[in-house]
A and B are shown apart, each in its own frame.
Chain A
Amino acid sequence: MLERSTYKTLIVSLVVCLSIPAQGEFSKDANPGDDGEFLAKSALEIDTLIAKFYRQKSLPVPEVANDATFMRRAFLVGIGRIPTAEEALTFLEIEGPSKRVELVEYLMKSKGYSSNMTNWAFDLLRLRDNRQGGANNEPYRNWIRTAMDENMPWDQFVTRLVSSSGNGWDPESASVGYYTIDRGMPLDNLANTMRIFLGSRMECAQCHDDPFGETERMDFYHLAAFTNGQYEQGKNLMTDLWREIRDDREERREEYQVAQLFWDRLYGMSLAGSGKGRIALPADYQYRDGEPGELVGARTPFGRTVRMSDRKDEGDGREEFAEWIVTQTGPQFSTVIANRMWERVMGKGIYEPVDEYIEASDTVYPELMNYLGRLMHEVGYDLRAFQHILMLTKTFQFATNPNPSTLAAGDDFHGRKIERLSSEQIWDSLITLSSGNPDKKSMRSVDNRIYVGNSPVLVGEMDMVQLSTEVLALKSEEEVRKYFEKFVKKVRNGGGKPEGGKSMTMGMTQVKRYGKDAPVRASELPSPAPREHLLYLFGASDREVVEGASKEPNVGQVLSMMNGYVQRQLVNNIDAHLFKSLAGAGSDEEKIRRLYIAIFSRPPSEEEMKWMKEEVDSQGESGFRNIVSALVMSSEFLFLQ
């Protein structure tokens, strides 16, 4: 799909070949991502639309990027890191007209794909490991990571987040973290839901009518009614017991720790009440269409109207809300996610900002936007298949464009704009250079162990999933007290706090954890990145606001590239993986060539080879180190072309 002649032949052959099924059909049993024909056909549709765009503007279609540029771009966009030297050498050396197609397939099947998507999901959902109070987001984080790893379709993902209910530790319902992470601020949570999934910015309507748009404060509360009435499951059965122990905590210290476990980390992570469907207007409600304290029923502000009674609690508000978002907002839901994916792959959304939805007819290219919305629906919201299609297009392969878009509010389809790598892409690429293919390492696993105070107990005997399931099933205060007493005894006598040397496994899966300095991908490191980490320095999101990452340069980043991590882990580290690729290199030239391919993913130009050879001739071994340092600190490494 590179040269024009091949391209033209393809169009002709497709037009002629009437055995292609009607639009929209791939074998429904198969995964759209596995249907090569379907992927290719869809990619062609997109290219046809882009070609039309260029014809209408009487502009010449840009050239496609060369192999090396394409390869690096595909790796970074598809799996969030540069290729290893081995991967790069392999791709650059193979011949054949379908090598780019094969590369994209390789990337989509790589474990790196889900790591890359996880960073995006964590940024979007503001996933932090910890929260105020004793609870944590461990099972929720794991739920998201698993969903990305299993390529859960987006509509299912959203439904399971928004309609979630139940036990926060049970892997099936751990998506309740979506709500419990924002305990105490359900309205902010709602505003984020509308923003992320529907591109509808309603934060301001929480307090007043939107002076620039049509959203009213009443609309906001009608929506909030769907998710109103969130509380911890069964906590009331423990209230008295909790107060007793807490008031006496100096004397009953051990029991207090167990009580905290139950209160904060068990009950505190559950979500009961599936959405009342009605809500009281706030005390400061200032408009004439309602009174403070008045109950209003749920009602959707656009799309198909869904209502719930203001006269009684109906109790399935969250489900109704989820269904409305996903299936009853016309093209909005599919368009928003399609545009987000377009931005991810192509560099700029068809409309921007991508979390402010506008109708296709108002975008720079309505026909394309409509097509993409339908395509997203067609692939069953399979984000991997969708991105796969985008990466197969010729449009994706256009040469890099150094200029900002000529169209103010969206993409001009003129080649991927040059932009700095994200902090995760930088980190993931640096560890690839220092430690080799990071996708070979195992993922961080969920820590389900029961913690009393700061130590895990009953390891190998019982975990949080079992404990929480049993506790949440208790039906009376008395049952809770009895269980609690029994459990305290069990902890006192039982398998217990591990002393130095004792194995932590005993039949249950070993917990895989990475410290903050581990050379593993960002998706496996603590979230948010610690303040002293390279990720933070390069602008990783603190995950307090939606998509809060930054690509702003600062002097600390430059110092780091000159004297910091790069120096310690790459240049001055003889065990760095990147030097392994030099094994067997016969000459200085060959060594230089391999260093270039490992770091820049391309061979050096003649001029560059001359400079580097001079360096090596003059400085010997330290010349190679200087070359590595210079290559990694240069702009070419930091920027995505």
Chain B
Amino acid sequence: MNLSTRKPMKQFFNRADEPTRRQFMQNAARAYLGVHLFPMLGPSIASAAAEGAAKGQKAKHVIYLYMSGGMSHLDTFDPKPRKKDVMGPTETIVGKGEVEISGFLPKTAGVTDKMCIINSLNSTQGAHEQGSYIMHHSYSQRGTIKHPALGSWVMKLGGRLNPEIPGFVAINSNPDVTGGGFFGAKYSAAPIGRPDQGLQDSKRPDAVSEDDFSRRLSLADRLNTKFHERYPNADVKAYEELYREAISLMNSEDLKAFDLAKEDRETRDLYGSGNFAQGCLLARRLIEHDVRFVEVQLGGWDTHYDNFTAVEGRCQEFDQAYAALLTDLDKRGKLKDTLVVVATEFGRTPTIKIEHSNGRDHHPSAFSCVLAGGGVKGGMKYGKTDSSGERIKDDEVSVQDFNATIAYALGLPHDLVLMSPTKRPFKIADKGSPVKSIFG
């Protein structure tokens, strides 16, 4: 992209003649995309990033599957078959590569040779809001600043690969944990509520001609300029910037990435039905179109009450979709480029609460997350908990270490300091250090 051909925005808005408006549409797509490719970030970031790239891995994308509510580690990836009083009715299954996981995940057992299960996660935060926040941001939630989410950091440090499509997409997720924070709205995730509905409203409506459409934008822009003059405010500005982004998106060829109907029946069946499964399939499509970071959320893991029935139900939704995702990515040769993360805010207590219909409460001091693809070794478990899954015995991995590992997988500099507008220093994973030994 040639910087010297950029024209100031104003010129495109104030002219009333047709050809210029068409020009505006085309140029908006090219000129105002908030693209941050390496050479444009300024010397310090560029060189540090280059250095980081040399040290780290080469994954290009992240598919971040977030199990919200606190996924029980014992009933999924850290079973303790020798302790019946801890396991209750949960059985185990030995998957590919001799990796033992919960019997609730039979299809996942077929892809454990691609997975690195980390059993030694430790969070300081045992409440949902704080736990989810710190998992997504690496910093504790504070009343005084809004940190950027992990996906936003990836966009900031690594840039977009495709300028015409959002770099960060969040499917069925929570806007509170997928926002750009002090990086600004440009780095917030584009939200998708229902994957089968694609990106809502991304086409110019049939009833509106191209001419009328650009006239509307022109009018709105004039109004906005006046408004912004009266009220020069960052939040107001953020919306204006998004208009540019929205327009470029509408004109993008890559919009079809959001259209699940383009997948064949066989593939759709492989993943299964249900919002989460379709979300995983959409995520695969999106990274194929070079979206950087896609988060897909699956809720309902907060099993204080009737843990086993609830976990079994959640696993059914998760199992087929996850196994399909890894298999499908591998088949298409994208698994080495894509880091597939399974994360949650904390685990659940080994002690079963009989009085709550056999529930399990929150347990942040030891829990499990999974990494697959993106250069990570498969068929392995990293870190160990004690015999009941209560405490970590070996190789503790903090939430920050986990996020630093994700950064490392992408070849992003986890130790690079960026300053917030309020002049405070921040890093992608705070003080975390990547776990390098899990990479092949």
**Contact among A418, A563, A622 for B202, CB-based, below 8 A:** A563
Q: Known contacts A283-B351, A550-B175, A553-B188; decide if A625 and B212 are in contact (CB<8 Å).
A: yes
A635-B224 in contact (CB<8A): yes
A532 and B304 alpha carbons, distance in the complex (Å): 28
A629 and B213 alpha carbons, distance in the complex (Å): 9
A419 and B236 alpha carbons, distance in the complex (Å): 8
A563-B205 in contact (CB<8A): yes
Residue from B201, B236, B246 whose CB has the most chain A CB atoms within 10 Å = B201
Q: Known contacts A556-B191, A634-B224; decide if A563 and B174 are in contact (CB<8 Å).
A: no
A554-B191 in contact (CB<8A): yes
B216-A633 in contact (CB<8A): yes
CB distance from A213 to the nearest CB of B (A): 14
B194-A531 in contact (CB<8A): yes
Q: Known contacts A184-B359, A400-B231, A542-B174; decide if A635 and B236 are in contact (CB<8 Å).
A: yes
CB of B243 closer than 8 Å to a CB of A: yes
CB of B274 closer than 8 Å to a CB of A: no
A261 and B332 alpha carbons, distance in the complex (Å): 49
Q: Known contacts A207-B126, A622-B212, A630-B216; decide if A550 and B179 are in contact (CB<8 Å).
A: yes
B205-A553 in contact (CB<8A): no
Chain B 232-271 per-residue mask, 1 if CB under 8 angstroms from chain A, else 0? 1101101110110110011000000000000000000000
CB distance from B350 to the nearest CB of A (A): 10
A353 and B126 alpha carbons, distance in the complex (Å): 21
CB of B197 closer than 8 Å to a CB of A: yes
Chain A 543-563 per-residue mask, 1 if CB under 8 angstroms from chain B, else 0? 011101011111111111011
B216-A558 in contact (CB<8A): no
- Residues on B with C-beta less than 8 A from A542 are 174
B216-A629 in contact (CB<8A): yes
B300-A560 in contact (CB<8A): no
Q: Known contacts A184-B305, A537-B191; decide if A611 and B239 are in contact (CB<8 Å).
A: no
Residue from A132, A532, A638 whose CB has the most chain B CB atoms within 10 Å = A132
Stretch at the interface among B49-57, B127-135, B405-413: B127-135
B200-A532 in contact (CB<8A): yes
A630-B200 in contact (CB<8A): no
- Residues on B with C-beta less than 8 A from A568 are 205
Q: Known contacts A545-B129, A562-B246, A567-B205; decide if A608 and B238 are in contact (CB<8 Å).
A: no
A312 and B295 alpha carbons, distance in the complex (Å): 51
- Residues on A with C-beta less than 8 A from B240 are 635
- We find that the number of chain A residues with CB closer than 8 angstroms to chain B is 73
Q: Known contacts A532-B193, A567-B205; decide if A634 and B223 are in contact (CB<8 Å).
A: yes
CB of A240 closer than 8 Å to a CB of B: no
- Residues on B with C-beta less than 8 A from A188 are 127
A39 and B246 alpha carbons, distance in the complex (Å): 47
Total cross-chain contacts (CB, 8 A): 193
Chain A 35-74 per-residue mask, 1 if CB under 8 angstroms from chain B, else 0? 0000000000000000000000000000000000000000
- Residues on B with C-beta less than 8 A from A633 are 216, 220
Chain B's closest residue to A627 (CB) is B219
CB of B386 closer than 8 Å to a CB of A: no
Chain B's closest residue to A353 (CB) is B143
Chain A's closest residue to B241 (CB) is A553
B236-A639 in contact (CB<8A): yes
B193-A567 in contact (CB<8A): no
- Residues on A with C-beta less than 8 A from B180 are 552
CB of A581 closer than 8 Å to a CB of B: no
- Residues on A with C-beta less than 8 A from B249 are 555, 559
CB of A626 closer than 8 Å to a CB of B: yes
CB distance from A604 to the nearest CB of B (A): 10
CB of A352 closer than 8 Å to a CB of B: yes
Chain A's closest residue to B211 (CB) is A619
CB of B81 closer than 8 Å to a CB of A: no
- Residues on B with C-beta less than 8 A from A402 are 230-233, 236
B216-A203 in contact (CB<8A): no
**Contact among A420, A551, A555 for B190, CB-based, below 8 A:** A555
CB of A24 closer than 8 Å to a CB of B: no
Residue from B166, B228, B242 whose CB has the most chain A CB atoms within 10 Å = B242
A403-B233 in contact (CB<8A): yes
Q: Known contacts A536-B193, A550-B176, A552-B185; decide if A567 and B207 are in contact (CB<8 Å).
A: yes
B202-A552 in contact (CB<8A): no
- Residues on A with C-beta less than 8 A from B238 are 553
CB of A222 closer than 8 Å to a CB of B: no
A562-B201 in contact (CB<8A): yes
CB of A583 closer than 8 Å to a CB of B: no
CB distance from A297 to the nearest CB of B (A): 21
Q: Known contacts A418-B235, A559-B201; decide if A553 and B227 are in contact (CB<8 Å).
A: no
A458 and B227 alpha carbons, distance in the complex (Å): 59
**Contact among A185, A567, A614 for B208, CB-based, below 8 A:** A567
**Contact among A420, A544, A631 for B223, CB-based, below 8 A:** A631
- Residues on B with C-beta less than 8 A from A550 are 175-176, 179
Q: Known contacts A356-B143, A532-B197, A631-B223; decide if A553 and B202 are in contact (CB<8 Å).
A: no
CB of B215 closer than 8 Å to a CB of A: yes
**Nearest 3 pairs between A and B by C-beta?**
A531-B193, A184-B304, A184-B305
With A563-B205, A639-B235 already in contact, 14 other A-B pairs whose C-beta atoms are closer than 8 Å:
A206-B127, A408-B144, A418-B233, A550-B175, A550-B179, A558-B239, A559-B249, A563-B208, A608-B223, A618-B16, A619-B212, A631-B220, A635-B236, A639-B236
Q: Could you jot down 22 A-B contacts, CB within 8 Å?
A: A132-B306, A184-B356, A203-B130, A206-B127, A402-B236, A408-B144, A418-B236, A551-B235, A553-B185, A553-B239, A553-B242, A554-B185, A554-B189, A556-B190, A556-B192, A558-B243, A558-B245, A559-B250, A563-B202, A622-B212, A634-B220, A634-B227
